[in-house]
Amino acid sequence: MSTDTVAYESSSPPRWEVTLRRVILVIARLGLAYLFFTQLWWKAPPTFGCPADFSFTTATEESGRLRLQRTSGLCDWMGIEQVYSTQPRPLLVANLDNSGDPEISINIAPLARLNGILLETVFMPTIRFSGWLLWLAEAAIFVTLLLGLFSRLGGLIAVLVSGQLLIGLSGIPNPFEWEWSYNTIFLLALLMFAFAPGRVFGIDAWLRPRLLAAREGGNRFAGWLLWLT
């Protein structure tokens, strides 16, 4: 390797490249924040868009196919996840000849079933309470990423929420949910968690030096808060 190559690889990236990275990170942060903002209103509390009796979507099997009896709001989509938790669930599907066979995929049926059990035993029986937790989680993603405040925490919550949706809904046939809608949200959430984007044009950029100073002064709580920014 030549001396010029070593010097180039060890030097800082050009200013335009640094600026480009920062701008794209801010755009991605605000884009994911707005995505979760748009999803707050169809399941707004206190009813979460559910029927008055908080009934959930169910299904019957006719001629080997599932026929959904749908309700509305969060009760509708929780019910749909539970229905499909017992069905075959391929993920990362690639049809190599555009006809469905041969096909590359990963079977996530065990994860989908665990998700269904969690819904059946925890979230659905307590929908009047757990609905608040789910709604506040998505509201927290919106606020933290919009303001760039504790943005790594916002990214972590987005990873958990989008990961659950990916397992519960990606690739189901009726209603058809294109799996890469959920896969992409999950991947974007991972990036937000990894890069803590509030450090660029966010409140975290102002907050971190103060937390660093507090940690150096012996404040252990400030050290924990640093991890979230």
> Where exactly are the structural domains of the chain?
3-228
Q: Where are the beta strands (DSSP E) in 36-147?
A: 58-62, 65-69, 90-95, 103-107
pLDDT digits (tens, 9 = 90+) for 45-102: 999 999 999 999 999 887 768 899 999 999 999 999 999 999 999 999 988 877 767 6
pLDDT digits (tens, 9 = 90+) for 126-157: 999 999 999 999 999 999 999 999 999 999 99
**What pLDDT is attached to residue 66?**
86
Residues 194, 202: contact at Cβ < 8 Å? no
Q: Is the dihedral of CA 189, 191, 196, 202 positive or negative?
A: negative
pLDDT digits (tens, 9 = 90+) for 149-175: 999 999 999 999 999 999 999 999 999
Residue 90 and residue 157: Cα distance in Å, rounded? Answer: 25
Q: Which residue has the tokens 């399941």?
A: 43
Residue 80 and residue 69: Cα distance in Å, rounded? Answer: 9
**What pLDDT is attached to residue 219?**
86
pTM for this entry: 0.91
Residue 129 and residue 174: Cα distance in Å, rounded? Answer: 28
